[in-house]
A and B are shown apart, each in its own frame.
Chain A
Amino acid sequence: MTKDEMPAIEAERYEFDEASRYRFELERRDFIRLFGAGLLVVVAAPEIAAQQQGESGRRGGREEASNELAAWLHIGEDGRVTACTGKVEIGQNARTSLTQTVADELRVPVASVAFVMGDTDRTPYDRGTFGSRTTPTMAPQMARAAATAREMLIDRAAQTWSVDRASLTAKDGRIAAPGGRTIGYGELTKGQTLTGMVAADAAVEKAGAWQARGKPQKKVDGRAFVTGAHEYPADIKRPGLVYGRIVRPEAYGATLVSVDDARAKAIAGVQVVRDGDFLGVVAPTERDAKRAASLVRATWKVPAGQPSSDTIYDYLKKNEESGGRGSDPQRVGDVERARRDAAKTFEASYRIPYIAHVPLEPRAAVAEWQDGKLTVWTGTQRPFGVKAELVEAFHLPEDRVRVIMPDMGAGFGGKHTGECAIEAARLAKAAGKPVKIVYTRAEEFSWAYLRPAGVIDVRSALDAGGRIVAWEFHNWNSGGSGIDTPYDVPNQLIQFHPTKTPLRQGSYRGLAATANHYVREMQMDLMARAIGADAVEFRLKHLTNDRVRNILQAVAKKAGWPKPSAAGRALGIACGTEKGGYVATAAELSKTADGFRVERVVVGFECGAIVNPDGLNNQVEGAVVQGLGGALFEHIEFADGRILNGTMEQYRVPRFKDMPKIEVVLLDRKDLPSAGAGETPLVCVAPAIGSAARAFGKVAEELPVRFA
């Protein structure tokens, strides 16, 4: 994909995406050590590409690769294909879609490709798996690597047979010549240590010619999940493994005053580790670690006057921080004047609570020190970021730390950080044995991080003809992604206001776009209602972007807009675009004694050429379900530096009984590059529900959606 074809994607402001301080690429001898003989294709960062061009560039030329991400691809003497990426698999199905990509370009069966993901010793550096970036950025790199390998194999066969390469074709892991002569990829690379660099113009297939891509592909390791064989980070066992637990502060910001660990130490084999405010225990069994931690008597000093879930919204507005990333106002025209001259004006102020990711697998890490080298198996979306944190925390050289990320039990943007890895490593250092830590659910709620709370103020105006003439939108703290309006409005003022935050906050699936879409679409709905306009027509009147228009119209049609499918129900709709994907959602509600119930959701999504239709369908449904949580009941309650509803029982997440009928509409645009799909299908769930709820009563200006 060239830069021009890249969808304009705005970086989230709350991604923990600091680059590693150093980037050392593997040398060729290390490749051989890692992979053995065969053929290795490297997609490197541009500066490395330029440097190594002379040594290995089969195609020669000095063209600067426009590649931003590194990837490795190896074909062994046995024909097995190993692809390496620093991206990780967290349930979003990247392992399978990337496998399809490599198999397709290399012309091999899907089953002969294995992916090594997120292992800092065995995969190239990667900033992390977030922002729906794997499909738009890593998949093209892998495609180029595989296409390059395929062409090298054809070259090699042409040499071996002394025939014109143009007469050869690659299929099913073999190169074939006219007349039926074939040779396997493994045979072609036998005894070789071939390396190739990828040219920026490597010829990859257009989506129209895809074979393994563009059709449903089952998860490549699905069987391991139904048999329980798959090892998650929390399942890792090491010889001599012992169990750790952290003694947590009483509240955020608390400092450790004193410790009485006599009763804990009375348990055989228990060790108590204190280092500054860090306090933890190690025990031979998980049960003893839990017991010991509960027996440690620690006194903490808790800072007074911390805000609560009731006062947070005032706090955010009063604690603006200037100069934050992306906080400059975006001005078009003159909103003040447009509002003064308008026929109708509207304003609202919405409150967005902190919510928790609640990945079903809590944070987990197993840390092992051996000969001065630290290895940590942990669940994270940023293995290289966690490595950098460990390097810094333990003052280690980069090559003495390895982070391995076994495919984990979900993340949703909530596992970017390395606290659990650091804690396990600290305890392992003290114990002289490998230590495992698995966060309790309460720890995951309180000591991970949350989706930011926010306040969003919106002011808009219509002229006498029902056209939007002014749009002013201010977001305090919940984030700037998806803050732009896709609607044509001549006068705009849009601004993100960074603020202080009393609770630890960070990335989340569809992070800020969910809040920004909620408020924007609720305001669109409000204006349409005020002038008696049809909510779909009103939007279309202000939309020139064909991709938004198309998905909105597709969903309206499927939903039967404007009529609900059953009497007494209400239908609401919303649309938008985020991270290169285009989404519309319709929600159908029935009235209940204490509010409403979501009976049916129609969701439409368009993300360019679809790689794995069934995998995409699964992602889209899952995003809707996750969106239901934030739309209907999820919110963190807190006071005095403590989370008050940090258990699975108190913090309600969507369950079977909450499920509406979900209908998915996918538009496949084979003429457009593939965008990511992990996040965007979530962002219109809440406004679709909110607008439908308005048919039953006045809706409060907040999330979750409820009547005022």
Chain B
Amino acid sequence: MRRMARFHLRINGHEHELDAEPGDSLLSAIRDDFGYTGSKFGCGEGHCGACTVLVDGQAVRSCVARVGAMAGKSITTIEALAEGDRLHPVQQAFLDAEAFQCGYCTSGMIMATVSLLRTNPNPTEADIARVMDRNVCRCGTFPRIVEAIRLAANRMRTSTATGVGR
């Protein structure tokens, strides 16, 4: 009945081992087993985005992602975004625009934005609304988040031109 197995997860560049069932949620492993609590539990249905992490650079709802599907993949959480004290441009933009109130959605919003800007460096407001629509800020800071995303996009395009962007 139980299908416990050992899984190898690559999180933030570190190899982690986990005994779990293949259908177990990636978020639980990230938070409870490995202590990356920057990724949040919000709904467990993949409909609020608080748990968003990057899997091979793409935004994934880790609460509905299965540990069994992570073999050979590289997982990045909010904890690995900054380089030392230097914030990622998306983090800096959220901070500068103060695009949060309680902050519980913030790490998921930031990870979703990093993923968005990777494929679309200059998103329109409609692009943002479409791609980010599964990320909820219950405090209602959406206008500020849109502003932060534009700020980050502008800065990253400018810095890419000078070779310091990521």
Contacts and interface: CB of A to CB of B under 8 A. Distances in A.
A662 B94 CA distance: 19
Contacts of A408: 102, 104
Contact of B146 (A407, A655, A656): A656
A621 B141 contact: yes
A354 B129 CA distance: 28
Interface string B83-107: 0000100011011001011111111
A547 B67 CA distance: 58
Given A243-B32, A286-B28, A287-B24, A649 B47 contact: yes
A243 B32 CA distance: 10
A444 to B, nearest CB: 9
Contact of B129 (A230, A647, A659): A659
Contacts of B40: 232, 234, 360-361, 409
Nearest to A410: B102
B28 A287 contact: yes
Given A234-B41, A659-B129, A91 B103 contact: yes
A410 B141 contact: no
A227 B38 contact: yes
Contacts of A235: 31, 37
Interface in B15-31: 20-21, 24-25, 28, 31
Interface string A317-337: 000000000000000000000
B131 to A, nearest CB: 9
Interface in A611-647: 614, 618-619, 621-626, 647
Given A226-B87, A226-B94, A657-B130, A622 B101 contact: yes
A287 B101 contact: no
B78 interface: yes
B82 interface: yes
A35 to B, nearest CB: 28
Contacts of B110: 226
Contact of A226 (B33, B48, B106, B129): B106
B70 to A, nearest CB: 15
A93 B101 contact: yes
Interface stretch (A216-224, A469-477, A529-537): A216-224
B73 interface: no
A167 B143 CA distance: 50
Contact of B140 (A218, A227, A625, A647): A625
A258 interface: no
Contacts of B101: 91-93, 410, 618-619, 622
A410 B91 contact: no
B77 A232 contact: no
Best-buried of A93, A624, A625 by chain B (most CB within 10 Å): A625
Contact of A225 (B24, B31, B106, B129): B106
A411 B130 CA distance: 27
Contact of B128 (A359, A361, A656): A656
Contacts of A287: 20-21, 24-25, 28, 32
A90 B139 CA distance: 10
A291 B25 CA distance: 12
A218 B98 contact: yes
B104 A409 contact: yes
B140 A360 contact: no
B79 interface: yes
B146 A228 contact: no
A360 B48 contact: yes
A266 to B, nearest CB: 9
A39 B92 CA distance: 37
B35 interface: yes
A90 B133 contact: no
Interface string A432-446: 000000101100000
A622 B141 CA distance: 6
B65 to A, nearest CB: 14
Contacts of A224: 103
Contacts of A621: 140-141, 143-144
A607 interface: no
A441 to B, nearest CB: 4
A662 to B, nearest CB: 6
Interface in A412-456: 412, 438, 440-441
B109 to A, nearest CB: 10
A109 interface: no
Nearest to A627: B140
Contacts of B24: 287
Best-buried of B31, B43, B92, B132 by chain A (most CB within 10 Å): B43
B50 interface: yes
Nearest to B148: A226
A654 B142 contact: yes
B136 interface: yes
Contact of B104 (A232, A623, A649): A232
A187 B112 CA distance: 49
Nearest to A89: B102
A112 to B, nearest CB: 21
A438 B51 CA distance: 14
A656 B45 contact: no
A463 B82 CA distance: 68
A409 B79 contact: no
A618 B144 contact: yes
A228 B107 contact: yes
A624 B140 contact: yes
A262 interface: no
A41 B98 CA distance: 33
Nearest to B63: A441
A648 B28 contact: no
A243 B25 CA distance: 15
B57 interface: no
A316 B100 CA distance: 38
Best-buried of A90, A410, A622, A656 by chain B (most CB within 10 Å): A656
A657 B130 CA distance: 7
A360 B79 contact: no
B102 A91 contact: yes
B62 interface: no
A440 B144 CA distance: 28
Per CB-CB distance, the 10 closest pairs between chain A and chain B, nearest first, are A228-B38, A625-B140, A91-B102, A409-B104, A225-B103, A228-B78, A622-B140, A91-B101, A648-B43, A235-B37
26 contacts: A90-B102, A91-B139, A92-B101, A222-B95, A225-B107, A226-B95, A227-B79, A228-B107, A230-B103, A231-B37, A232-B37, A237-B37, A285-B28, A286-B32, A360-B40, A360-B105, A360-B136, A361-B40, A361-B42, A622-B101, A648-B43, A656-B129, A656-B135, A656-B142, A659-B146, A662-B143
Given A228-B79, A441-B44, A659-B142, 13 more contacts: A226-B100, A228-B39, A228-B77, A235-B37, A291-B21, A407-B102, A408-B102, A410-B104, A622-B140, A626-B140, A648-B47, A656-B128, A656-B146
